[in-house]
């Protein structure tokens, strides 16, 4: 490979107490690539991307971003580097409004005598405009609390936020969960568009057939280990599915 | 029906319960005390007590907003009172109050640092510091009290810091109003407030969005410590003396004010105006028992009954409001 990988993971190990969650994982992620990260529940896909987005620090091994070794792991640092993540189980605070969630951690401010005050007009206007593209109903206001939203609408807030702040990397953990067929297609198209704009897109799913159509490369994880890493041109979805089967388990079809 | 129209309002504003309770109690107290409760002098006293308890409650509410709790505020209040009074006899009361606030900030920092570093529940840590700083306060005073002679209780800065009245009310009340106004703006209209409530709503989610959860919690404890110590300083200024037992059991009243005022102990949802109303209600009850000649030892019992009753009433109101 001539091009330097945007994110390089080298011999990564992660323990949660005695539990060995990631075992000597090495993967290269390139800019302008859409990578499907596939595996069963508990295979370690979410754990791996939680290292990339700074939530977990690895126990052993190294991560390089843009050729530089990552020394400190914190979501703030990852976000500042341009890594946006659509997390599956975290990311929204139920007690806050849509607009406040959208800008959490990077609130736009107007300074009066140097004191930062929230720019409510911008927060409301921009967040609702962006999220409407991803299935937020017209009668939901940006001031409504996230608690009131349906599963799909919650997902649309996370996706809208990632797209708005997209920078260099977008990681999507089961992005189409809770979405309708039409919204799902929209998200998948979007993943391809982001890639075509030169971003690195990491797409996590159970459904190898769905992601095989979109991805340039598929990485399969099993029991905390990487068991396959192949371009979608070189291996068919069926062949990759066999790899997972040989791991001793069967990939579940994503629930609709 | 007209009552149903109030449902969305009650759902949105958790503090409505305490305002209803407050209104009912005011009517009862005023009509059963033969003018001894509802007179200007007594209301002034209630306002002074509300001001010091309210300052403490605001700080506790901020900590509750992050999903933690601070039960050490009674001892912090005592330390603030001692620091202020000891210094006010020697230097200008303004610097004495600043020193008291610094003591409170230090205690808050110790609480926050221990909690965020050791990941130990704040209930345990602040229970420990409650005893530690009470112990220090008693040891410092050696069983005696500090006092400032009447002759020396003059100068406008002494009056400004709880030692005098303005427009018929103790100056502590105006400090409370000022602090309340600042905190409301910080909480509702600044990034810090957004992140603070996010931490209380879901610390994991806030962390994943790059919020420095530990720093937010630490700041909340520092703010809480500063307010409790400042309240202590104002109280000491009012009384002109301070001993090692000042603020004892006040932490319970402050937490009760917050909970009655609609602050959710799980974090993320707090009402500052509710906490203040809670402080006012508790002060009013206390005053009512005094003016009607009830023995002071009954206060804590009656307070407990009212807290339980009010909590039940508030819950019932909420359940009613949630129903379609």
CB contact under 8 A, B194 and A107: yes
CB contact under 8 A, B197 and A95: yes
User: Residues A62, A66, A71, A76: is their CA dihedral positive or negative?
Assistant: negative
Under 8 Å CB pairs connecting chains A and B tally to 81
> Residue B151 pLDDT more than 50?
yes
pLDDT at A247: 67
Say if A171 is an interface residue toward chain B (CB within 8 Å).
no
- For range B158-179, the mean pLDDT: 91
pLDDT at A251: 41
Say if B207 is an interface residue toward chain A (CB within 8 Å).
yes
> Residue A196 pLDDT more than 60?
yes
Give the residue, A184 or A59, on which the prediction is more confident.
A59
The domains located in chain B, with CATH, are: 2-322 (1.10.3470)
Q: Name the segment(s) of chain A with CATH classification 3.40.50.300.
A: 1-82+167-256
- For range A206-211, the mean pLDDT: 88
Cβ-nearest to A91 among B191, B195, B205: B205
Residue B16 confidence class, pLDDT cut points 50, 70, 90: confident
The chain B residue lying nearest A80, using CA atoms, is: B210
Q: Which of A244, A214, A219 shows the shortest CA–CA distance to A229?
A: A219
Place of tokens 């030692």: B163
- For range A25-42, the mean pLDDT: 90
User: Residues A211, A214, A220, A224: is their CA dihedral positive or negative?
Assistant: negative
Say if A57 is an interface residue toward chain B (CB within 8 Å).
no
Residue A252 confidence class, pLDDT cut points 50, 70, 90: very low
pLDDT at A153: 83
CB contact under 8 A, B194 and A87: no
- For range A149-165, the mean pLDDT: 85
* Residue B172 token pair: 């502590």
Q: How far is A63 from chain B (nearest CA, A)?
A: 19
> Residue B1 pLDDT more than 70?
no
Helix (H, G, I), strand (E, B) or coil at B294: coil
Listing DSSP states for B212-246 in one string gives: -HHHHHHHHHHHHHHHHHHHHHHHHHHHSEEETTT
Q: Range with the lowest mean pLDDT among A82-91, B62-71, B193-202?
A: A82-91
pLDDT at B79: 96
Give the best residue of A91, A98, A104 to mutate against chain B (max B CB count within 10 A): A104
pLDDT at A35: 94
CB contact under 8 A, A93 and B205: yes
Report the CATH architecture of A1-82+167-256: 3-Layer(aba) Sandwich (3.40)
**Whole-number Å distance between alpha carbons of A170 and B86:** 59
pLDDT at B289: 86
pLDDT digits (tens, 9 = 90+) for B268-307: 889 999 999 999 999 998 888 888 888 877 878 887 887 7
Residue B324 confidence class, pLDDT cut points 50, 70, 90: low
Give the best residue of A54, A72, A95 to mutate against chain B (max B CB count within 10 A): A95
Q: Range with the lowest mean pLDDT among A28-42, A141-155, B50-64?
A: A141-155
pLDDT at A249: 43
pLDDT at B323: 73
Residue A2 confidence class, pLDDT cut points 50, 70, 90: low
Spell out the alpha helix ranges (H) of chain B: 7-12, 16-32, 40-65, 73-88, 93-118, 122-141, 156-158, 171-189, 191-201, 203-208, 213-239, 250-260, 272-291, 298-322
Say if B186 is an interface residue toward chain A (CB within 8 Å).
no
Say if A105 is an interface residue toward chain B (CB within 8 Å).
yes
């Amino acid at each position: 490979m001539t091009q330097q990988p945007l994110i390089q993971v080298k011999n990564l190990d992660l323990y949660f107490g005695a539990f060995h969650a990631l075992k000597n994982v090495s993967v290269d992620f390139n800019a302008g690539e859409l990578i499907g990260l596939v595996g069963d529940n508990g295979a370690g896909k979410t754990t791996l991307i939680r290292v990339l987005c700074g939530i977990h620090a690895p126990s052993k091994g190294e991560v390089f971003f843009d050729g530089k070794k990552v020394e400190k792991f914190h979501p703030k640092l990852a976000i500042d580097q341009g890594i946006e993540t659509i997390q599956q189980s975290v990311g929204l605070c139920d007690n806050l409004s849509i607009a406040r969630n959208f800008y959490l951690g990077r609130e736009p401010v107007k300074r009066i005598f140097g004191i930062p005050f929230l720019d409510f007009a911008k927060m409301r206007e921009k967040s609702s405009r962006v999220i409407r593209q991803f299935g937020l109903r017209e009668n939901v206001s940006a001031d409504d609390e996230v608690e009131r939203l349906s599963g799909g609408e919650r997902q649309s807030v996370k996706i809208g936020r990632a797209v708005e702040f997209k920078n260099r990397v977008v990681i999507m953990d089961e992005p189409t969960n809770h979405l309708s067929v039409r919204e799902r297609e929209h998200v998948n198209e979007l993943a391809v568009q982001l890639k075509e704009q030169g971003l690195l897109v990491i797409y996590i799913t159970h459904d190898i057939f769905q992601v095989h159509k979109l991805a340039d490369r598929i990485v399969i994880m099993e029991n905390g280990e990487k068991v396959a890493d192949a371009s979608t041109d070189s291996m068919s979805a069926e062949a990759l599915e066999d790899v997972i089967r040989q791991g001793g388990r069967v990939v579940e079809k994503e629930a609709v | 029906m007209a009552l149903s129209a109030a449902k969305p309002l009650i759902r949105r504003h958790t503090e409505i319960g305490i305002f209803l309770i407050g209104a009912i109690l005011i009517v009862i107290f005023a009509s059963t005390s033969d003018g001894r409760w509802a007179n200007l002098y007594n209301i002034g006293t209630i306002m002074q007590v509300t001001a010091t308890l309210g300052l403490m409650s605001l700080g506790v509410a901020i900590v509750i907003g992050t999903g933690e709790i601070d039960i050490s505020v009674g001892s912090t209040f005592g330390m603030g009172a001692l620091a202020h009074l000891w210094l006010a006899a020697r230097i200008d009361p303004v610097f004495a109050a600043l020193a008291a606030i610094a003591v409170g900030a230090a205690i808050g920092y110790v609480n926050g640092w221990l909690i965020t570093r050791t990941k130990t529940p704040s209930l345990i840590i602040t229970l420990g510091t409650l005893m530690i700083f009470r112990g220090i306060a008693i040891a410092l005073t050696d069983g005696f009290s500090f006092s400032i002679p009447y002759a020396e209780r003059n100068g406008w800065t002494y009056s400004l810091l709880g030692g005098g009245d303005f427009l018929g009310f103790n100056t502590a009340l105006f400090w409370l109003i000022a602090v309340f106004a600042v905190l409301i703006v910080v909480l509702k209209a600044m990034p810090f407030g957004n992140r603070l409530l996010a931490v209380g709503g879901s610390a994991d989610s806030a962390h994943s969005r790059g919020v420095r959860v530990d720093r937010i919690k630490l700041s909340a404890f520092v703010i809480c410590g500063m307010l409790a110590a400042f309240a202590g300083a104002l109280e000491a200024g009012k009384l002109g003396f301070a001993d090692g037992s000042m603020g004892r059991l006040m932490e319970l009243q402050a937490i009760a004010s917050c909970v009655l005022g609609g602050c959710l102990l799980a974090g993320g949802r707090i009402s500052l105006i509710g906490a203040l109303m809670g402080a006012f209600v508790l002060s009013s009850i206390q005053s009512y028992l005094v003016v009607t000649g009830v023995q002071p030892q009954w206060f804590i019992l009656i307070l407990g009954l009212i807290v339980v009753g009010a909590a039940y009433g508030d819950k019932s109101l909420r359940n009613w409001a949630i129903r379609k």
